[in-house]
């Protein structure tokens, strides 16, 4: 199973929203995190648009995580770099997707941010949007050529991740958009096996409707039906 997705979700402590964290930031990053455009303009004159904080974040990272559309627009218009990584290898687009900031995602994509960069776990912005179960952000990323079957370090595609997180609406949405129903993780497990091991009848029906193969075997030689039996969901 993938690492705990909680670690991938938007975190007030990490993204400069808590008051104690805000005090820890320099003036420029504090202005970006709190949406203070006037203060940001002042700071940019002194520090430049791509200055990093201790966690390697630029003002754009913090403005995106906190959904400050006017600040993001201002930074983009002032030619900030769109694809810089923070210390978790996350780009501003990944932060916007993770924190469900749809308007910020749209601005970044329209200005050419790369949707297919991966963080230290191999997750792309699409993986992070799937974890947040945000169909609108998932749709935006796909419209801008995000790779629908990108694999993270566990071998999870966005579809496998959506199944493991029980996000039924996202599963159906990804399949409609052409996600590979036979995608396999590092242990050769398919989305159907993952659904079967959780006794997810609705997800199983959706996957079968899109042509999931019940005869596929993983590295143990187990099929989806074996997974259902092992986890106590045999018919």
pLDDT at 6: 39
19 with 106, same domain: the answer is: yes
13 with 105, same domain: the answer is: yes
**SS3 of the chain: helix, strand, coil, percent, to 5:** 50, 0, 50
End-of-domain residue from the set 94, 120, 147: 147
Express each pLDDT in 161-176 by its tens digit: 999 999 999 999 999 9
67 with 132, same domain: the answer is: yes
End-of-domain residue from the set 147, 167, 182: 147
End-of-domain residue from the set 116, 147, 178: 147
pLDDT at 18: 54
Q: Which two tokens stand for residue 71?
A: 């600040």
Instruction: Tell me: pLDDT of 145 over 50.
Output: yes
> Collapsing DSSP states into helix, strand and coil, what is residue 72?
helix
Is 90 in contact with 56 (CB distance < 8 Å)?
no
Express each pLDDT in 1-39 by its tens digit: 444 443 445 654 455 555 555 667 889 999 999 999 999
Instruction: Tell me: pLDDT of 204 over 90.
Output: yes
pTM of the predicted model as reported, rounded to 2 decimal places: 0.91
- What one-character DSSP code corresponds to residue 16? T
Give the whole-number percent of the chain exceeding pLDDT 70: 89
Express each pLDDT in 29-50 by its tens digit: 999 999 999 999 999 999 999 9
pLDDT at 25: 83
* pLDDT confidence tier of residue 233, bands split at 50, 70 and 90: confident
Rounded mean pLDDT of the chain? 92
105 with 44, same domain: the answer is: yes
pLDDT at 174: 99
Instruction: Tell me: pLDDT of 109 over 70.
Output: yes
Domain that holds residue 11: 1-147
Whichever domain contains 75, its CATH number is 1.25.40.20
What is the distance between the alpha carbons of residues 61 and 188, in angstroms, rounded to a whole number? 35
82 with 107, same domain: the answer is: yes
Burial class of residue 189, CB neighbours in 10 A (0-12, 13-18, 19+): buried
């Amino acid at each position: 199973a993938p690492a705990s997705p909680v670690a991938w979700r938007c975190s007030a402590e990490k993204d400069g929203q808590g008051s104690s964290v805000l005090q820890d930031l320099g003036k420029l990053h504090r202005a970006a995190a709190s949406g203070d455009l006037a203060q940001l303009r002042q700071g940019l004159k002194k520090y430049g648009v791509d200055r990093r904080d201790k966690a390697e974040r630029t003002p754009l990272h913090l403005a995106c995580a906190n959904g400050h559309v006017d600040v993001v627009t201002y930074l983009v218009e002032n030619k900030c770099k769109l694809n810089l990584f923070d210390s978790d290898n996350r780009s501003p687009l990944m932060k916007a997707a993770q924190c469900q900031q749809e308007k910020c995602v749209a601005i970044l994509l329209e200005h050419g941010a790369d949707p297919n960069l991966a963080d230290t776990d191999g997750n792309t912005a699409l993986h992070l949007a799937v974890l947040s179960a945000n169909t609108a952000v998932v749709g935006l990323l796909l419209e801008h050529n995000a790779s629908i079957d990108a694999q993270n370090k566990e071998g999870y595609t966005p579809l496998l991740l959506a199944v493991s997180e029980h996000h039924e609406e996202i599963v159906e949405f990804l399949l409609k958009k052409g996600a590979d129903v036979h995608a396999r993780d590092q242990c050769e497990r398919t989305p159907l096996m993952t659904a079967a091991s959780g006794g997810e009848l609705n997800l199983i029906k959706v996957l079968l409707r899109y042509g999931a193969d019940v005869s596929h075997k993983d590295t143990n030689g187990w099929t989806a039906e074996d997974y259902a039996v092992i986890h106590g969901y045999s018919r």
